[in-house]
Amino acid sequence: MTKRKTQPPAEKKGLLSVLPLGSVGQDILRIVADSLQGILRIPVDLLEAEPLPPHTFMEARNQYNAMAIIRFLSENHSHNSFKTLGITGKDLCNPILTYVFGEAYMNGPSAVMSYHRLHQGQTEDPVSREQFLDRVVKVALHEIGHTFNLPHCHTGRCVMRASNNLKELDDKLNYLCDYCELFLFESLKKALDVHRNA
């Protein structure tokens, strides 16, 4: 082991961070971080878990307000990461939908996703761990796509298709169509330029 003689230059903030909100399985965090890193080709930081902000709990619905969570993440995490994806096992909703798999700011600093409903199979039995994790990755990629300004897509089985239920989620593939990929890399390039000059 050699000791560094000089301190490394001050770390710039990360580009993309994955933040567990509450206790989240390591396999979930790992596959999300690895997949985003592989598809976006940028480094992904895995942050220490923190509790869901209590004010985002909607008692009357027994769910957490996804909009309030992304607002919280934008206010509290954008100083150390360019984009932050929160992951929770709790059920999410927003004021107009009974539940959401995830929510993101278009071209914004934060997104949140929940895997609460992603275990559910067609029968009483949950889906396989493999299928569950596949769904998790699709939701993560979709929401992060929105933070890079990707709108909903209607091409084939592109992951940026809107999915309001598990069937629609299962119908999509864990991939970006050519158009979305091009759009994403343009947006990523712009973001990297801003990031480098920050």
Tell me whether residue 82 or residue 105 sits nearer to Zn ion (CB atom).
105
Catalytic residue among 75, 143, 181, 186: 143
Within 41-175, where are the H helices?
Answer: 66-77, 129-147, 166-171
Rounded least distance, CB 126 to Zn ion, Å:
24
**Least CB distance from residue 30 to Zn ion, whole Å?**
24
Active site residue 11: no
Residue nearer to Zn ion on the CB measure, 128 or 164: 164
Nearer to Zn ion, 179 or 189 (CB): 179
Q: Rounded to an integer, what distance in angstroms lies between the CA atom of residue 29 and that of residue 133?
A: 10
Please report, as ranges, the residues that interact with Zn ion according to CB under 5 A. Answer: 153, 155, 158, 160, 177, 180
Query: 138, 143, 114: which is closest to 56 by C-alpha?
Result: 114
User: Measured from the CB of residue 7, what is the shortest distance to Zn ion in angstroms?
Assistant: 42
Contacts made by residues 169-172, CB under 8 angstroms, sequence distance 24+: 169/101, 169/118, 169/135, 169/138, 169/139, 170/131, 170/135, 172/138
Active site residues: 143
